[in-house]
A = this chain, B = another copy of it.
Amino acid sequence: MIKANEYFGGNVKSLALTAEGGPATVGVMAPGEYEFGTASLEIMRVISGKLSVLLPGEAAWREFGPETEFTVASGVKFLVRALEDTAYLCLYR
């Protein structure tokens, strides 16, 4: 049974799996702005769509489209704007 989670009133949903040797989720973000917190290092890879991201300690938003990824340290918060429906793979390491 695959574990499903939802956040932000159902505007972000994810499905858990093992990927590339460790825990991961694939998910979808509807357009909007979301603040996420990390409990481990996270590698966020965009599958489709586009994210604008404000990473901890950075002053400028950066955009990530398909086949690009960014890494977020453990124990921090970061802001994500989904500019359109966006599918992602998140690896927890």
CB closest chain-B residue, reference A10: B1
Enumerate chain B residues within 8 angstroms of A4, measured Cβ to Cβ: 4, 6, 13
Per the 8 Å Cβ criterion, residues 36-62 of A in contact with B are 47-49
A contact residues, total (Cβ < 8 Å): 29
A19 to B26 alpha-carbon distance, docked (Å): 14
A84 to B86 alpha-carbon distance, docked (Å): 24
Cβ–Cβ contact A87 & B84, under 8 A: no
Cβ–Cβ contact A89 & B27, under 8 A: no
Cβ–Cβ contact B18 & A15, under 8 A: no
How many identical subunits does the complex contain?
2
A26 to chain B, nearest CB (A): 4
A58 to B11 alpha-carbon distance, docked (Å): 40
A4 to B6 alpha-carbon distance, docked (Å): 10
Kindly list the 9 A-B residue pairs having the minimum CB-CB distance in the complex, ordered from nearest: A19-B48, A17-B85, A1-B10, A26-B87, A15-B28, A2-B13, A18-B85, A17-B28, A2-B28
